[in-house]
Amino acid sequence: MCRGMRSFPPIFLLEPPGTNVAVGDVLRAAEWLLQRWPEDYIGTPLHRAAQIACLRALEDEGDALDVRAALIAAAEEAGIFEGHVPPISRREPRKRRR
C-alpha cells in the first residue's frame, strides 16, 4: 500500500479566516476532503470524485496527479481554490563548459 508516488505540485486552498494553505500530497488532500471541507460542498459529485481519487492513489490504483486534478476541480466548485504552483522541471541542470 502507498508504494507509488504520493506527492504532487502543491496547490493552495483557502482556509478561514483567509489563510492560504499548501496541499501537496495525497494524505493531506484526503485530510482536507474528509475533515476540513466546506460543509455546503460535502458530498457533491466533484467532492466525491476527489475522495475516490485519493482512495485509489492510497491503494496504488491511481496516481497523485489524478488526485491533484480532482482536488482542484472540487476546490474550485467550493470556492476555496487559491492557485497552484507550476510543476517543477525535472531536467538536469546544464553543465558549464570550461
- Has residue 3 got a pLDDT over 60? no
Tens digit of pLDDT for each residue in 29-53? 999 999 999 999 999 999 999 999 9
Contacts 24+ apart (CB under 8 A), 55-64: 55/30, 57/4, 57/6, 57/26, 58/1, 58/2, 58/6, 58/26, 58/27, 58/30, 59/1, 60/1, 60/2, 60/3, 60/4, 63/4, 63/5, 64/4, 64/5, 64/6, 64/7, 64/8, 64/25, 64/26
pLDDT tens across 56-71, in order? 999 989 999 999 999 9
